[in-house]
Structure 1
Amino acid sequence: MTRPHLSHTVRRSKIMVTQFKRSQAETVTAITL
């Protein structure tokens, strides 16, 4: 049984992780500066 919305969920989760890592990096940079 295939779930068409599964790939969309995975893609969205990957985007969320990318945004989280980016914001985390910006925070570390701000603290360093």
Structure 2
Amino acid sequence: MEPVAKRCRLVEALLASVVDRSSRLAWYRLLAV
């Protein structure tokens, strides 16, 4: 595999985790309200 592809997958995983966290926080806020 090319290092570029590995980087792209790493970035995708990072973005997915960040989005998951932000969406979880949003859900917690909605439930709290």
Give the TM-score, by structure 1 length: 0.84
**Unpaired segments of 5 or more residues in structure 2?**
none
Aligned residues: 33
Consecutive unaligned residues of structure 1, counting only runs of 5 or more, are none
Q: What is the rounded CA distance, in whole Å, between the counterparts of 2:15 and 2:21 in structure 1? A: 10
Which aligned runs of 4 or more in structure 1 are off by greater than 6 angstroms? none
Quote the RMSD (CA, aligned, Å): 1.6
Identity %: 6
Q: 1:20 — aligned with what?
A: 20
